[in-house]
Structure 1
Amino acid sequence: MMHLRVPAQLQPYIEVLGLDLGIDFLLKFGGSYVHLSENPQGRSEVTALIGHELTAALARRVGSGSIRVHTGKPFIAQHFRAKGWTTNAIARHLHVTDVTVRGWLKPPDDRQLSLL
């Protein structure tokens, strides 16, 4: 599988949860608010998905309280493509059009100078 560059806004999730669980987390909670606690009580949907220890670790990494989770769809689309998914399968799974997925997966224009 090719190496994917994790966008900065998603790095805390992927670093704490790992790639597969991080993507599951983004798919379930992306675009919405979640409440994170360093001392979770075990009644939240977050804790049900990732467990007590990882919920506490994520709260320490991104901060306790209510946070809005990024959707991460372009990154998730790249991950699914690297796993061999078709454009249509990715579009259906992410609830977007195939045109959107193709745009996300299009290689960068090498005529554009890098800002890095």
Structure 2
Amino acid sequence: MNRWGGVQAVISVLLLACAVYVYLRPQHISTLNGYSEEQLRNVDLRKVRRTAGGGLALLAVVIGGGSWLLSRAGVADATLTVLGIIVIFAGVITLMARVETFNRNR
């Protein structure tokens, strides 16, 4: 039986740190970083904060908890890493696409 590797723990901690940062400073998200002050006024930063910060925290829980459960089931560490990368890739793209919809300028 595999033991839960450090890679998934590091990924989870980094995602939680990113979630806290995005929650505190939602205007620093790369999709909103190039906006002028006038354009940024048209974006509901509370929705951005909840969606991006909460979504990244949820990704951290899914990566950490899911890899712990799968490692207890006997899945190989390499498979866990690949699954984690796929989940992160799809999750972050989905979150940023959702944040883009909060722009009322379009």
| Higher relative contact order, chain-length normalized (CA < 8 Å, sep 6+) | 2
Normalising by structure 1, report the TM-score.
Answer: 0.23
Higher helix share: 2
Higher strand share: 1
Normalising by structure 2, report the TM-score.
Answer: 0.25
